Structure 1
Amino acid sequence: MEIVAEGLAFPEGPVVMADGSVIVVELAGGRITRCWNGRTETICDIGGGPNGAAIGPDGALYVCNSGGLDLVKLQHARGAGHEGRIERVDLATRRFERLYDGCDGIALEAPNDIAFDAEGRMWFTDMGKTHDGIHTASGLFSALPDGSSVTAIHRHAISYNGVGLSPDGRHIYVADTHQARLWRYDRKVEAQRPTWVATAPGPVGFDSLAVTAAGNACVATLYDGGITTITPDGMVKKFDIPGERYVTNIAFGGADMCDAWITLSTTGRLVKTRWDEPGLELPYHG
């Protein structure tokens, strides 16, 4: 694997840009960072704990922000300034604004990952916060990018993390970290129970995901690090990355969509490798 950038503060949420750069969030640094081969540039110091990112229909970067970490207690930070929220970053001006920090009068806890459908609607997960031995509820949400409407699809999950759409746009795939399970939702149905797709074997957890053109979900896999590929009918195979416990994200790009950018978060690296099938082209690009 080729090292694209290193020395990053827990990188996540890679977004492949048209100019060949890759934008990542730095969870432990509270930054949005653009990466070229061996070079990095801070786009903005967004604060909190940015987790996931995606380009929206207006060309802006939309960010899931978990609110940050308490590095003394090694848990999610809470209190003023540490609210979970969805933010919009104007990449031209580098200014950012808060769009959502609650839904139906209930505060967001720790928004984690985000994807857009072809109609311009965002889908994001809230993993919930872990603090003082307590883990708050997790869920899946849908919202408009102008800040006018947010809907809870499911509020009673264990630890939702990665999210992505099927190639036909009919389904939303969601990865559950602590259960190492992949779930599927019908995009057109609100307030629903998901369909189980597959569970990964072994002592692993799931993080973010990307979908291939064939409809397979490639899920970044924790603890015994790698990428787990799950077909729509539940077949599972794993690409191992030895020595990496926190393989957290994968994103596809390149002329043939077979270049894969992967974040290795605890070692602070963004790497690139060739993949054995093309990724799904996203509806919006930077």
Structure 2
Amino acid sequence: MFATIAQGLRFPEGPVAMPDGSVVLVEIAAGRISRVHPDGTVQTVAEPGGGPNGLAIGPDGKLYCCNNGGFDYIEHPSGLLIPHGQAADYSGGRIERIDLATGAVEILYRDGDFGCTLRGPNDIVFDAHGGFWFTDHGKTRPRERDVTGIFYARADGSHLEEVIFPSENPNGIGLSPDGKRLYAAETYTCRLMAFDVVAPGQIDPTAGLGGPGLPLYRPAGYKFFDSLGVEACGNICVATIGESGISVISPTGDLIDFVPTPDPFTTNICWGGPDLRTAYITLSGTGQLIRMDWPRPGLALAY
């Protein structure tokens, strides 16, 4: 059972549970960051434009945002809002830093910085060292799709590096509880990949055949993986498009649970509450943020 906290959101994603019980999230199709209060009130935090996507709180208490530059959308007859390729007014991929108190938006990294190509930054996770990993999902245009990678950056703007390339349109990203494994969910291959972290911003390049990383899990059927979260026990919870729900995968690659949801574009999950057993899930196609009790606590994030 779940409760709907807010509806009418414009493709919500990137939820971050806040200490006061609110949830900060993006509305990708509206180009804004919003705060959903426990009573369902929605407050605009910032309006960076483009396509704000993944969010995380950094060591300075500010909000770090993966901005994909924007999608075009289809308003399906069923009422679903569906992303459809690169926006006509695509504004470029970037990483932004946002002051939650004032709404001020600063571009921390943009396409071309440190020799890196940023097409569609998507999801983000901070490590215990104050740096962050993020995926670049790329953009899709008629008859072509970007080949992208996974990046590591410092929060002070001093370092940006593409650590993993190529990756098959990576989406969700997370770290194991001990920080020694990096997980990334690929959308179109519907694979959950695992990478061994050997130092901050470095992975073992030999762990895998034909490139770094090991395919951990891949479901059957017509499904796509979106963003993910990690439980305190190490399970990886991947938002699953098509089948509609959250796939819960063990660190050894076994599907141990599937939590269904009523939106085929179920895109992300985070945890809040005093025991981190309240799950917040974005139902993007129908524009909802829902809340449910979760059987296991989520992993406490670095910040």
Q: What TM-score bracket applies, with the shorter chain setting the length?
A: over 0.9
Contact map agreement 2:195 2:204 (CA 8 A) in 1: no
Show structure 1 runs of 4+ deviating over 4 A: none
Q: 1:256 to 1:71 in 2, by over 3 A?
A: closer
Corresponding residue of 2:147: 137
Confirm or deny that 1:150 pairs with 2:160. Answer: yes
SS in 1 for 2:29: coil
Corresponding residue of 1:232: 251
User: Amino acid of the residue matched to residue 18 of structure 2?
Assistant: M
Alignment map for 1:104-115 (pairs within 5 Å): 104-115=114-125
Cα separation, 1, equivalents of 2:16 and 2:218: 27
Q: CA deviation at 1:106?
A: 3.6
Q: CA deviation at 1:127?
A: 0.5
SS in 1 for 2:50: coil
Structure 1 residues 18-27 or 236-245, which shifts more?
A: 236-245
Corresponding residue of 2:285: 266
Q: 1:243 to 1:271 in 2, by over 3 A?
A: closer
Cα RMSD over matched residues? 1.6
CA deviation vs aligned residue, 1:195-238 (integer Å, no higher than 9, x gap): 22111222111111000011000000001100001101111144
Corresponding residue of 2:92: 83
Corresponding residue of 1:40: 42
Find 1:61's aligned residue among 63, 66, 69: 63
Corresponding residue of 1:101: 110
Structure 1 residues 239-248 or 157-166, which shifts more?
A: 239-248
Cα separation, 1, equivalents of 2:260 and 2:283: 9
SS in 2 for 1:28: helix
CA deviation vs aligned residue, 1:132-155 (integer Å, no higher than 9, x gap): 121001211000011110111112
Q: CA deviation at 1:190?
A: 4.5
Contact map agreement 2:32 2:47 (CA 8 A) in 1: yes
Q: 1:106 to 1:281 in 2, by over 3 A?
A: closer
- Percent identity, aligned pairs only, is 46
Structure 1 residues 252-261 or 59-68, which shifts more?
A: 252-261
Cα separation, 1, equivalents of 2:96 and 2:88: 18
CA deviation vs aligned residue, 1:135-190 (integer Å, no higher than 9, x gap): 00121100001111011111211110000110001111111111111111122234
Corresponding residue of 1:251: 270
User: Amino acid of the residue matched to residue 253 of structure 1?
Assistant: G
Cα separation, 1, equivalents of 2:189 and 2:117: 24
Cα separation, 2, equivalents of 1:106 and 1:194: 21
Alignment map for 1:180-199 (pairs within 5 Å): 180-187=190-197, 188=199, 189-190=202-203, 192=205, 193-199=212-218
Find 1:92's aligned residue among 98, 101, 105: 101
Contact map agreement 2:195 2:203 (CA 8 A) in 1: no
Corresponding residue of 1:22: 23
Provide the aligned length of Structure 1 versus Structure 2. Answer: 283
Q: What TM-score, normalized to structure 1?
A: 0.95
Q: CA deviation at 1:242?
A: 4.8
Cα separation, 2, equivalents of 1:242 and 1:46: 30
Contact map agreement 1:154 1:191 (CA 8 A) in 2: no
Find 2:185's aligned residue among 175, 185, 205: 175
Structure 1: which 5+ runs fail to align?
none
Contact map agreement 1:67 1:78 (CA 8 A) in 2: no
Contact map agreement 2:196 2:204 (CA 8 A) in 1: no
Structure 1 residues 30-39 or 191-200, which shifts more?
A: 191-200
SS in 2 for 1:280: coil
Q: CA deviation at 1:94?
A: 1.1
Cα separation, 2, equivalents of 1:10 and 1:231: 29
CA deviation vs aligned residue, 1:64-121 (integer Å, no higher than 9, x gap): 0000123489311266x61000000011221011011135424200000000011111
Structure 2: which 5+ runs fail to align?
75-82, 206-211
Cα separation, 1, equivalents of 2:42 and 2:105: 19
Corresponding residue of 1:277: 296
User: Amino acid of the residue matched to residue 275 of structure 2?
Assistant: D
Corresponding residue of 2:77: none
User: Amino acid of the residue matched to residue 148 of structure 2?
Assistant: S
SS in 2 for 1:99: strand
